[in-house]
Amino acid sequence: MQITVAKKAGFCFGVKRAIDIAFKLARDTKKEIYEEITKIGYKIVDATCPFVKKAQKRAQTLKEEGYQILIVGDKEHPEVQALLGFAGDDAIVLCDKDTVPPLKKKVGIIVQTTQPVEALKKIVCHVISEAEEVKVYNTICDSTSQRLEETKDLAKEVDIMMVVGGKNSANTAQLARLSAEICPRVYFIETTDEIKEDWFNGAKKIGITGGASTPRWIIDGVVKKLKEISVKR
């Protein structure tokens, strides 16, 4: 079998940055930290993804300017929950399948960084026909858009797509849905333990992609497993 891993699979810039910061702090901090945690006063290191931070600042700005804020995204997602803290009590969260409720005259729109741009376009097209003044900030992360496009291209070229990542990960689920629209055989897994050899009967080309929070070692493990299956055939 020919196995191709999407170049953007695995940790996005924001996740990798946060992990690098955590490891650096672990290396640079002495073991006296255990004594320090009992004292008052802590050094706060903000490892929030810069793209998420930008969305939060946009939400704060729109609130200060008097806009009713509409957030395009998944209401249960931690990023959106954080955005609501900056957006104000009258903020509304919508996904592209929701019905847009009555809005105020001034509406500001921001979007969860891992949402597809099509979702933003759909909401914007509706809002501009309802509100008198609309300000839109496209806060979608470039890595998300690139990952989706790369997955789309790869799904066209293979017999099977393997999507690796957490089942509760919004962007990984998007990759699985997108792959299923293009490739007839798609498997969404979290670990190599879920892989079954008979999935690959008759398959010659396998594509692998992973969500922004999927560690590279998990993806490498999937590749290793598929190579072992290929050798047996």
Note if 181 is an active site residue. Answer: no
Count of CA atoms in the C-beta half-sphere (13 A) of 113: 24
106 backbone dihedrals φ, ψ, rounded to 5°: -110, 120
CB 56 within 8 A of CB 82: yes
Catalytic member of 32, 36, 76, 79: 79
How far, in Å, CA of 162 to CA of 200, rounded? 11
Report the C-alpha gap between 138 and 74 in whole angstroms.
16
Neighbours of 191 (CB within 10 A): 11
To which H or E segment does residue 110 belong? strand 106-111
Can you tell me the distance from the alpha carbon of 192 to that of 218, in angstroms, rounded to the nearest whole number? 8
Compute CA distances 79 → 25, 160, 164, whole Å. 24, 31, 21
Give catalytic residue positions: 79
